[in-house]
Amino acid sequence: MWLCLVCGVILLALGWVVRDRQKISSVKDKYVLITGCDTGFGNLLAKTLDKRGFRVLAGCLTQRGADDLQRSCSSRLQTTLLDVTDNGSIQKAMEWAKAEVGEKGLWGLVNNAGRSTPIGPTEWLRMEDYHKVLSVNLTGLIEVTLSFIPLVKRAKGRIVNTASVMGRISFAGGGYCLSKCGVESFSDSLRRDMQYSGVRVSIIEPGFFKTAMTNLEGIEKDLDRLWGRLAPDVRESYGQQYFDKYVNIQKLSMNILCDTDLTKVTWCMEHALVAKYPRTRYAAGWDAKFFWVPISYAPTLICDFMLALLLPKPAHSV
Ligand SMILES: NC(=O)c1ccc[n+]([C@@H]2O[C@H](COP(=O)([O-])OP(=O)(O)OC[C@H]3O[C@@H](n4cnc5c(N)ncnc54)[C@H](OP(=O)(O)O)[C@@H]3O)[C@@H](O)[C@H]2O)c1
């Protein structure tokens, strides 16, 4: 009985590995549009896919980012300016891509553009802080997806959405966790709605990686700004010690947690584009696989306890 069970599990695991390794027949003449290619994962993915023979349409926020990327890639890769918070910019990029891909359609849409700040204790934030992050990470991603769906459907292609482990556990106030939780939810409904169209939808859930987004200087500077604009009575209720500890925890976690190997994330994105059977979710990085994703299934009590151990207590606590 036990032997049968063990053999069954081993066979299932082997079957999964074989299935997972199957690739599409060719990437030649397959178009992939990536958002946020100026830096980080998007930039590396654009270069990797270009080397692999894909026709990359790289969306960059700045002309400088586009020029730098173009210089380091083949002439197959093309860039366009794309601000995912701007409806006009999205429509312009879509019309350009439509003309480029023609009848073939768009094989891949990789929604990668994102921003993390403002991030901090909820009481320190204003509505405009939420809008800043949500307009890029969530509503921007939704608008890009809705605009490009017809092109992806034509190719029976792939949509790859970048979420985060912070979309599974909300451990900082602000729009970031909220936006990534929204990306998970949007991608789940999109996947189910697209299942009969041949379009496959994958979610990438990276842990912590060293990119411009996790740059300590930027995070500290923004926390300083939030702290400085608080009403004196609110600031007093937290106390200077709280602020200092909060900043130190960011330092500690960014220094200890951030992985410098960005290929762990771009490998997942690439797999979602070239695998015959792309996965629904990809946990990228050891911290995501062995800590954040497992802990996200733990009872809320345990998560709350762990985060309470990590985070400081305000001066005026009950
Ligand atoms: N790094 C991590 O630890 C981590 C973990 C989980 C998930 N992620 C996600 O991974 C994705 C890529 O982030 P990254 O770590 O590679 O950081 P990154 O280097 O800062 O890349 C983000 C890119 O998005 C661009 N961008 C910002 N606002 C935009 C807008 N309105 N329209 C179009 N592009 C815009 C940025 O351009 P500029 O450089 O010109 O501002 C930048 O090129 C993001 O969705 C992020 O949330 C990152």
Phi, psi of 32 (to 5 degrees): -130, 125
- Which residue reads 């292609």 in tokens? 157
Q: Is the pLDDT of residue 257 over 90?
A: no
Report the DSSP pairing between strands 108-111 and 78-81.
Answer: unpaired
Is 242 an annotated catalytic residue? no
Phi, psi of 289 (to 5 degrees): -65, -45
Distance CA 204, CA 132 (A): 22
List, chain by chain if needed, residues with CB within 6 Å of any ligand 1 atom. 35-36, 38-42, 61-62, 65, 82-85, 112-115, 136, 140, 162, 164, 206, 208-209, 211-214
Q: Is the pLDDT of residue 255 over 90?
A: no
Question: What is the reported pLDDT for 256?
Answer: 87
Taking a C-beta distance cutoff of 8 angstroms, is the pair 260, 214 a contact? Answer: no
**Residues paired with 34 in a beta bridge:** 58, 110
Q: What is the mean pLDDT of residues 105-120?
A: 97
Domain 26-210+260-299 grouped into CATH 3.40.50.720: yes
Q: What atom of ligand 1 comes closest to residue 163's alpha carbon?
A: 7
Q: Measured in angstroms, how far is the CA atom of residue 115 from the centroid of ligand 1?
A: 5
Q: Is the pLDDT of residue 252 over 90?
A: no
Q: What is the pLDDT of residues 62-86, one digit of tens each?
A: 999 999 999 999 999 999 999 999 9
Q: What is the pLDDT of residues 297-316, one digit of tens each?
A: 999 999 999 999 999 999 99
Show me where the domains of the chain are located.
26-210+260-299
Choose the catalytic residue: 176, 238, 246, 282. Answer: 176
Taking a C-beta distance cutoff of 8 angstroms, is the pair 284, 205 a contact? Answer: yes
The confidence band for 4, taking pLDDT boundaries of 50, 70 and 90, is: confident
Q: What is the pTM of this model?
A: 0.97
